[in-house]
């Protein structure tokens, strides 16, 4: 019977060089960590995926994975060092399995590389992905420059595959003796085990610095650019607050509707859903559902956009036109732009809000109601 192979994704770091939680950064339509997890969840030879989460952050990490439809579980809390984190993760895995230890910040790992590491560990007891060094390396020692030969020099990556029980024992002995290493291959080599390297490339990069996101996206398939259009209209009535683009506008009337009837946000939601082929606002937030009675349309926009994100979509620009004879709205433009940009996580320069009248014609011109048109451009990574 073939030994089961588990993936142990180490995601307990502090991202100090990035300056923010790099695992939550969006990479081609999905968070970095989600892309990493999906690479293993979608592999038919991987029996299960477990994660080592950060101290005081395991619940939030599990919530992120669940929100994006990942089945993986955060089964252990990380320690002060990588060795301690991996050790904690191994203890939560089944005895007798093989394990692929992988960095949460390496989202571009290929199915072929995972296969090669699995083959190596099942055949030789280890399989460590490594890329040949191509740059000239220098060591500065006592103000002297020492050039290191490139031949036979490899940059260790992950996955690093070992027998779970052997790696667990080696890490425990290393901890007892005070030996500290930055990867599992070093620990096993310190124990006298011959480590089998699996050829890899620099494409299996680790997200470490801010520019790495752009580099990683350049290595992924280009997204489709999709455009959606939305339109909505509501009657003006007394006794209601007038909400437009999430901003309360001073006026003696408001828009009638099941929610707060923010006609501009409703048009934008329809535009975003249309770009993704995901129906319309009425299907997503029906006016027969009491949960949405009086609801803030900004919250509806946030919920809709999260669903779009989970499908691999990311808005890159939006243009909204509000049609109303009264009141004058120009003074609210900045607040409206900021309101929408904050929900879509976009610079304000990507959001355009404009106003027009109908010169007294139609229901808008007669002051009976307001309407809004919206166009949204969405980048869609269909494999996100």
Share of the chain above pLDDT 70, in %: 98
Domain shared by 189 and 247, yes or no? no
Task: Say if residue 171 is in the same domain as residue 243.
Answer: no
pLDDT at residue 42 in the model? 86
pLDDT at 349: 95
Task: Please state the rounded mean pLDDT for residues 125-143.
Answer: 89
Residue 231: per-residue pLDDT = 98
pLDDT of residue 261: 96
pLDDT tens digits, 19-57 = 678 999 989 888 999 999 999 998 999 999 999 999 989
111, 180: one domain: yes
- Of 3, 374, 332, 365, the closest CA to residue 166 belongs to 3
Alpha carbons 304 and 291: distance in angstroms, whole number: 15
Strands of the 369-380 sheet, one edge to the other: 254-255, 224-237, 369-380, 313-323, 351-356
Same domain flag for 315 and 344:
yes
Last residue of a domain, one of 186, 203, 219: 219
- Tell me the C-alpha distance between 107 and 178, whole Å: 32
- Do 214 and 308 fall into the same domain? no
Of 200, 219, 238, the residue that ends a domain is 219
Q: How far apart are CA 292 and CA 303, in angstroms?
A: 12
Q: How far apart are CA 295 and CA 291, in angstroms?
A: 8
Over range 141-151, report the average pLDDT: 83
The two tokens of residue 187 are 């620990």
- Considering the domain architecture, whether residues 129 and 148 belong to the same structural domain is answered as yes
77 φ/ψ angles, rounded to the nearest 5 degrees: -100, 135
d(CA 353, CA 217): 30
Q: What is the CATH number of the domain that holds 281?
A: 3.30.1330.50
Q: What is the CATH number of the domain that holds 87?
A: 3.90.550.10
Residue 150: pLDDT above 90? Answer: no
Asked if 79 contacts 85 with a C-beta cutoff of 8 angstroms, the reply is yes
317 lies in which domain range?
Answer: 224-380
Residues 200 and 320 placed together within one structural domain of the fold = no
Q: Which pLDDT does position 223 carry in this prediction?
A: 86
Whether 156 and 96 have beta carbons less than 8 Å apart is answered as no
179 and 100 housed in the same domain:
yes
Is the pLDDT reported for residue 277 higher than 90?
Answer: yes
| 294 and 158 both lie in a single domain | no
Domain boundary among the residues 189, 204, 219 is at 219
Residue 52 contacts residue 8 (beta carbons within 8 Å): yes
384's CB contacts (< 8 A; 6+ apart) are 28, 29, 30, 35, 311, 312, 313
According to DSSP, residue 283 is labeled H
Tell me: pLDDT of 152 over 90. Answer: no
* CB burial readout 137-151, b (16+ within 10 A) else e: eeeeeeeeeeeeeee
The string over 19-29, giving b where at least 16 C-beta atoms fall within 10 Å of a residue's C-beta and e elsewhere, is eebbbebbbbb
- 284 and 186 part of one domain: no
Please give the backbone phi and psi of residue 75, each rounded to the nearest 5 degrees, phi first. -105, -10
Cα 294 to Cα 286: distance, rounded to the nearest angstrom: 13
Nearest-10 Cα torsion for 212, 196, 149, 82: 50
Phi, psi of 94 (to 5 degrees): -65, 140
Domain count, the chain: 2
Share of the chain above pLDDT 90, in %: 83
Which residue is it, tokens 């395991």? 58
Please state whether beta strands 137-141 and 313-323 pair in parallel, antiparallel, or not at all (unpaired): unpaired
In a shared domain, residues 46 and 122: yes
Which residues are 242's β-sheet partners? 249
Q: Which of 243-257, 264-278, 307-321, 326-340 has the lowest mean pLDDT?
A: 307-321
Residues 190 and 228 in one domain: no
């Amino acid at each position: 019977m073939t030994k089961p192979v588990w993936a142990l994704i180490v995601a307990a770091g502090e991202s100090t060089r990035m300056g923010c939680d790099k695992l939550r950064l969006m990479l081609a339509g999905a968070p970095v960590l989600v892309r990493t997890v999906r690479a293993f969840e979608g592999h038919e030879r991987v029996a299960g995926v477990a994660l080592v989460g950060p101290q005081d952050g395991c619940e939030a990490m599990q919530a992120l994975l669940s929100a994006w439809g990942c089945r993986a579980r955060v089964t252990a809390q990380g320690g002060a060092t990588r060795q301690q984190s991996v050790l904690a993760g191994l203890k939560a895995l089944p005895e007798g399995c093989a394990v692929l230890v992988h960095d949460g910040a390496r989202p571009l790992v290929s199915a072929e590389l995972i296969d090669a590491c699995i083959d190596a560990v099942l055949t030789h007891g280890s399989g460590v992905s490594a890329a040949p060094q191509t740059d000239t390396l220098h060591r500065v020692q006592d103000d002297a420059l020492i050039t290191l030969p490139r031949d036979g020099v490899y940059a260790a990556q992950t996955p690093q595959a070992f027998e779970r029980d052997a790696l667990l024992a080696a890490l425990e002995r290393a901890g007892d003796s005070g030996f500290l290493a930055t990867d599992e291959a070093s620990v096993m080599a310190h124990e006298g085990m011959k480590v089998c390297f699996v050829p890899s490339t620099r494409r299996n990069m680790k997200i470490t610095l801010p520019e790495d996101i752009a580099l990683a996206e350049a290595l992924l398939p280009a997204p489709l650019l999709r455009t959606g259009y939305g339109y909505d209209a509501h009657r003006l009535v007394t006794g209601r607050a007038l909400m437009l683009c999430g901003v309360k506008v001073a006026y003696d009337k408001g828009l009638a509707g099941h929610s707060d009837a923010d006609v501009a946000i409703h048009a934008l939601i329809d535009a975003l859903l249309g770009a993704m082929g995901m129906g319309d606002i009425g299907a997503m937030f029906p006016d027969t559902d009491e949960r949405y009675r009086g609801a803030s349309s900004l919250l509806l926009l946030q919920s809709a956009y999260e669903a779009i994100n989970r499908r691999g979509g990311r808005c890159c620009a939006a243009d909204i036109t509000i049609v109303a004879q009264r009141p004058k709205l120009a003074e609210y433009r900045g607040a409206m732009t900021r309101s929408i940009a904050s929900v879509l996580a976009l610079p304000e320069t990507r959001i355009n809000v404009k106003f027009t009248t109908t010169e007294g014609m139609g229901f808008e011109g007669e002051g009976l109601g307001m309407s809004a048109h919206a166009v949204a451009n969405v980048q869609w990574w269909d494999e996100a």
